Structure 1
Amino acid sequence: MVHKASELPPYRALLVVDIKEFSGVPGRYQAEVTDLVPVILRSAFERCGLIEVWSGRRFFISTGDGCAMGFPSAVLPLLLTPFLQGLQDELDYRDQVRADPMPLRMRVSVNIGAVTDSGQELMSEGSGASRVETHRLLDAQPVRDLLSRSGPATRVAAIVSVRAFHDAVVGGYTEDSQDLYVPAPVQVKQLTDVAYLRVPSPTGDLLHSGFLPRTEPGGEGIDEHASTEDRPQEAGSTTNSSQDVRGVLSQSRDHVNQGNTNYTFHGTGNVNSGAGNQFNGADTRYYDRRGS
């Protein structure tokens, strides 16, 4: 059989967001909350001086409790800095002065890869393995735990793919310290990899114990690949382990899925405070753009 090669679709910076506990929103308000997602995102981009990035998005796909977006690959660093802080600030503002049906908190995943982008607004826009991976990252337990273990003032928790982290952060394009991103093992369905956690405003147990599960007494690492039922459940049993997992990261530098690789994280007690570089946009006023 003759196999014919085909061209890759364009590389796009990918951003997927969803609302924490959307299922808990009364049905009466779910449509309103869904409609708020693009309003909030547009305001967050403008708040941190990136309205041109918002306007230049290649596709926007609603997922009901969130959305998936594609952007030109060149803006990938901006989706980390200053956008994540801008989104945190926008959600802070809305909680203080707006009358939303509920205080909103969001998980965010950031990735880069080849996805379809015809420019014709087809239903299939954004299709590809990288898009699937971005959604899988958003469902990973480490990023879900960040919002569960923090207080309500922590409104944004992000997870960043290895490829995006190395291109944007290690490459120096965000000008962020790499220590603001905590490596974590993820396993969701067929995806087994390492990704990076980022929280612009950590609170609660994230400050007390860190972002990641610590080792069990006796020095054995907790298996992050075990089911929730099989994991030891300890109050306050988390700590960052960014110093000791760097040996693991060499396995993912080329973004290769190692399949059966097992990661053991040994905690050091370091806490990522998230108090890194912040971007102050030229105009931080809020405008209600409902219907714009």
Structure 2
Amino acid sequence: MSEQLITPWAESRPLPPYKGVLAVDAKDFTGLPAVLHAPVSQMIPELVDQAMARAGLTSVLQDKRFPANTGDGIVFGFDPAHLPFVIWPFLKELDEVLAQYNLSVGPRIRLRASVHVGPLPDEGRPDDGNGTPRNDTHRLLDSRPVKAVLASSSEQTTHLAAILSDRVYEDVVLGGYAGLHPDRCIEVPATVEGKPFAQRAWLFIPSPSGNLFRAGVLAAEAPGGPAEPADAPAQRSGRSYRGNTQNVREGTAVMGDVSGNVSHTSGDTRYTATNQHWGSGDNVSGTKNTAAPGEQR
């Protein structure tokens, strides 16, 4: 007989240990010929393990918690003390391992990766690892921004797109524990079509292709900070925008300074949120205030 279900909020109970969670999956896996599904499914964890070893994370390899193969990817938990090293250098090493593999004659493998942290049961039971943090890790992996970036980038250059939860970004990246500078991350609104999920998250693309910059998804940076457009006026007040273009597959792209909310409705999908930063200007969902008199937008 199964155990009696616990009743939330009826009494206090110990918090499960915090675990880092890494999930990866392959772009366009289902589009491969059926005969390639099994070998590619086997190759993905091998490539991840190679990158782990190259990053010096042998202890994570030897102590994966509640690992699972999802067919087109894998997921497992690990000691959160390793989070800084999973962010850097592991993600960089995974990108390089994929780049080397994709030079071969085999089917090209391009991956999405998500990194999160939170309390998850880990007691050696079959149901270990089940909980909201693991669910959110998969939602981040399936979210619009990380899918859009991988779909929009060059398959010759960009082999990996990673998304970090806001908790991981705040604690590990902004906290200065990872060897990844915060300026290499892009704040995005992570939403999943058909799912009640909306969180702030952060994209990291180890090898961005040039078309991402041209599309306005990434802002080119120069030493000393982000580069202004060549024709940008010296003063920010009353500045004009000329010739800026953003190609947006999902949501609304807005050039310039935005305050308030922006609403975007397409089909039966609706976004309502506060300002979100995406490349040049703000990519936001909600209502955009009109420009003050005399401003050109």
Please give the residue correspondences for 1:1-292 in structure 2 after superposition, counting only pairs within 5 Å.
Answer: 3-96=10-103, 98-100=104-106, 102-120=107-125, 122=126, 124-152=127-155, 153-188=157-192, 189-211=195-217, 215-216=253-254, 226-227=265-266, 240-241=279-280, 262=286
Which structure is higher in strand share?
A: 2
The structure-2 alpha-carbon separation of the partners of 1:142 and 1:224, relative to structure 1 and needing over 3 Å to count, comes to farther
Cα distance in structure 2, aligned partners of 1:99 and 1:165 = 36
CA contact (8 A) 2:95 2:207 kept: yes
Cα distance in structure 2, aligned partners of 1:118 and 1:210 = 46
The structure-2 alpha-carbon separation of the partners of 1:203 and 1:228, relative to structure 1 and needing over 3 Å to count, comes to farther
Cα distance in structure 2, aligned partners of 1:241 and 1:95 = 31
CA contact (8 A) 1:140 1:186 kept: yes
CA contact (8 A) 2:186 2:278 kept: no
Cα distance in structure 1, aligned partners of 2:92 and 2:253 = 31
Cα distance in structure 2, aligned partners of 1:158 and 1:126 = 21
Cα distance in structure 2, aligned partners of 1:80 and 1:224 = 34
Letter in 2 for 1:147: L
Cα distance in structure 2, aligned partners of 1:114 and 1:241 = 36
Letter in 2 for 1:160: L
CA contact (8 A) 2:55 2:85 kept: no
The equivalent residue for 2:273 is: none
Letter in 2 for 1:47: R
The C-alpha deviation readout for 1:212-260, integer Å capped at 9, x for no partner, is: 75744797799687557879xxxxxx96058x68xx9xxxxxxxxxxxx
Cα distance in structure 2, aligned partners of 1:263 and 1:164 = 29
CA contact (8 A) 2:187 2:278 kept: no
Shift of 1:3: 1.3
Shift of 1:207: 2.6
The equivalent residue for 2:226 is: none
The structure-2 alpha-carbon separation of the partners of 1:224 and 1:39, relative to structure 1 and needing over 3 Å to count, comes to farther
Cα distance in structure 2, aligned partners of 1:176 and 1:91 = 20
Cα distance in structure 2, aligned partners of 1:48 and 1:263 = 44
Cα distance in structure 1, aligned partners of 2:278 and 2:11 = 49
Which ranges in structure 1 are unaligned for 5 or more consecutive residues?
232-237, 249-260, 265-292
Cα distance in structure 1, aligned partners of 2:11 and 2:269 = 46
CA contact (8 A) 2:115 2:165 kept: yes
- Note the aligned Cα RMSD (angstroms): 3.0
The structure-2 alpha-carbon separation of the partners of 1:216 and 1:183, relative to structure 1 and needing over 3 Å to count, comes to closer
Greater RCO, CA 8 A, separation 6+:
1
CA contact (8 A) 1:58 1:119 kept: no
Cα distance in structure 2, aligned partners of 1:163 and 1:197 = 13
CA contact (8 A) 2:26 2:111 kept: yes
Give the alignment's TM-score, normalised by structure 2. 0.72
Equivalent residue pairs, number:
239
Shift of 1:118: 1.5
Between stretches 61-70 and 210-219, larger displacement belongs to 210-219
The structure-2 alpha-carbon separation of the partners of 1:71 and 1:230, relative to structure 1 and needing over 3 Å to count, comes to closer
Give the alignment's TM-score, normalised by structure 1. 0.73
Cα distance in structure 1, aligned partners of 2:28 and 2:287 = 29
